[in-house]
Amino acid sequence: MILPSRQSQVLQLIRRHGPLSRQELHRYMQLRPNTVGELAAEMIRQGLLRESGPQSIGPGRPRRPLEIDGRRRRVIGVAFEAGRVSACDLNLLGRRLGVQYEHAARQAKELVTAACGFVERIGLDGVLAVGISTTGFVDPQSRCILRSSATAPQPCTPLDSLYTAVGDRPVLLANNMHALAAYWLLSQHQDHQEDVLLTHMGDGAVGAVFLAAGKPNRGCVTGGNELGHMRLPVDTDQCICGRRGCLERICSSAHLQRLSSDPAANLIQRLRSFHPADEPLVRILEQVGLGLANLVDFLRPHRVVITGPLAQCPAFGNYLAQVIRRSTLIPLGDWVKIDVWDRPRCTAAEAGAWLALAAIYQGEGELPGLSSPFRAGKTPRRTAIVR
Ligand SMILES: [Zn+2]
């Protein structure tokens, strides 16, 4: 827990309803007026809240609503992706404060060193927490990136120097899809009781996260739900995982070129001018849709969210939705909601920072959807092998 639960609850309430007076907080939280007064004073002192201008709403003393202070406190986000690392800082409202730093490198060690330099340049004054996101798998307990396109071929990249660079600030280390989900939950979505399959679809890059009642499913290792490496019996180029037939190899310009015998074929361009007679493109959409439909059968989510660069082409989301509805078990196809989130306005580093914001806004149990979903938890260790 980064903040005491009552402070997190105040931030959540003001984020949801806008500026609130102490009286309104007293009613929402069912706390004694004195307790609310002390809580507000402490949060103002800590730079979490500020008083907005007085509002006269009739006779008597004008009320002084409390709003989230966007000037004094902030979070840092760091994102490791294939061949690059980036970092930036956001205020408590999720708005970018300074520039975004970026560095391209092939060596994992160089990426980590660059990240340390970014943190030094951004500075730690007023920083409440740091979110670190990466592709692939992580072990928050041993502070390592495990298998990841960002650090391949290294099986394990220690982040000790980065943890040292952020000093005593809490660190949230998670997969990049978890980071995107943190942003989605806090910026787009209100019903934290739903089970949601959030997918990110790009040209040759497919990711997913499954949120059970607002929390990423835990699993045996911290990572995204590897939709991109779901395999179908399709002859594709070799995937970064070393295998063939992975969904993210099917969902790629390279595969479209192979099917079309056209070395210049581009998936996004073809989707923009989609025609049902485009047989190679339709075959790709059918196979990607089938992968998603299998997941819907398996997970029975309330909602599937399709986002990423391909989701900006209306034909992509529409076609996948059709395939999911007609390929899943009856009655799942009629019940599952399918959303296309076409323009997430968030860079990878910003999404990393939203990991930290999610942890700040989460209470300990008040709003179940925000309770501890994105905090670095203990990774269960394998204690026995069943043969
Ligand atoms: Zn693969």
Cα 382 to ligand 1 centre (Å):
24
Maximum Cα interatomic distance, the chain, rounded to a whole number of Å? 78
- Does residue 281 lie in a domain region? yes
Whether 146 and 202 map to the same domain: the answer is no
Q: What is the DSSP string of 220-282?
A: SSBS---GGG-B-S---PPPTTS-SSBHHHHSSHHHHHHHHT-TT--HHHHHHT--TT-HHHH
Cα 206 to ligand 1 centre (Å):
10
Whether 242 and 290 map to the same domain: the answer is yes
Cα 98 to ligand 1 centre (Å):
36
- Does residue 87 lie in a domain region? yes
Paired tokens of 146: 């495990």
Cα 141 to ligand 1 centre (Å):
26
Give the side-chain half-sphere CA count within 13 A for 214.
21
Paired tokens of 40: 């507000």
Per 3-state DSSP, the chain is made up of helix, strand and coil in percentages (nearest 5) of: 40, 20, 40
Cα 201 to ligand 1 centre (Å):
14
- Does residue 299 lie in a domain region? yes
Cα 174 to ligand 1 centre (Å):
20
Domain boundary among 25, 46, 68: 68
Contacts of 201 (CB under 8 A, 6+ apart): 251, 288, 306, 307, 308, 309, 310, 311, 316
pLDDT in tens, 333-380: 899 999 999 877 799 999 999 999 999 997 543 333 333 344 444 443
Domain boundary among 27, 42, 68: 68
Closest CA to 230 of 243, 242, 210, 247: 247
The domain containing residue 147 runs over which residues?
74-182+347-370
Total residues belonging to the chain: 387
Domain boundary among 34, 68, 102: 68
Cα 223 to ligand 1 centre (Å):
15
Give pLDDT tens digits along the chain (387 positions). Answer: 789 999 999 999 999 899 999 999 999 999 999 999 999 999 999 999 999 876 656 666 667 899 999 999 999 999 999 999 999 999 999 999 999 999 999 999 999 999 999 999 999 999 999 999 999 999 999 999 998 999 988 889 999 999 999 999 999 999 999 999 999 988 887 677 899 999 999 999 999 999 998 889 888 999 999 999 999 999 999 998 999 999 999 999 999 999 999 999 999 999 999 999 999 999 999 999 999 999 999 999 999 999 999 999 999 999 999 999 999 998 998 999 999 998 777 999 999 999 999 999 975 433 333 333 444 444 434 445 444
Cα 237 to ligand 1 centre (Å):
10
Cα 51 to ligand 1 centre (Å):
52
Q: Is 206 helix (H, G, I), strand (E, B) or coil?
A: strand
Cα 88 to ligand 1 centre (Å):
30
Cα 228 to ligand 1 centre (Å):
6
Cα 229 to ligand 1 centre (Å):
4
Whether 197 and 333 map to the same domain: the answer is yes
Cα 226 to ligand 1 centre (Å):
9
Question: CATH no. for residue 232?
Answer: 3.30.420.40
Cα 60 to ligand 1 centre (Å):
66
pTM for this model (two decimals):
0.88
- Does residue 385 lie in a domain region? no
Cα 246 to ligand 1 centre (Å):
5
Whether 238 and 310 map to the same domain: the answer is yes
Cα 278 to ligand 1 centre (Å):
26
Cα 208 to ligand 1 centre (Å):
14
Whether 277 and 217 map to the same domain: the answer is yes
Cα 240 to ligand 1 centre (Å):
6
- Does residue 251 lie in a domain region? yes
Whether 44 and 90 map to the same domain: the answer is no
Cα 231 to ligand 1 centre (Å):
7
Cα 276 to ligand 1 centre (Å):
28
Whether 279 and 173 map to the same domain: the answer is no
Whether 331 and 218 map to the same domain: the answer is yes
Closest CA to 149 of 81, 94, 47, 87: 81
- Does residue 264 lie in a domain region? yes
Contacts of 225 (CB under 8 A, 6+ apart): 177, 197, 208, 209, 210, 217
- Does residue 244 lie in a domain region? yes
Whether 292 and 253 map to the same domain: the answer is yes
Cα 107 to ligand 1 centre (Å):
21
- Does residue 384 lie in a domain region? no
Question: CATH no. for residue 47?
Answer: 1.10.10.10
Q: What is the total count of domains within the chain? A: 3
Whether 215 and 293 map to the same domain: the answer is yes
Whether 220 and 358 map to the same domain: the answer is no
Where helices occur in the chain by DSSP H, the ranges are: 5-17, 22-29, 33-45, 108-122, 160-165, 176-187, 247-250, 253-260, 267-272, 279-299, 314-327, 332-335, 348-361
Cα 243 to ligand 1 centre (Å):
6
Whether 266 and 357 map to the same domain: the answer is no
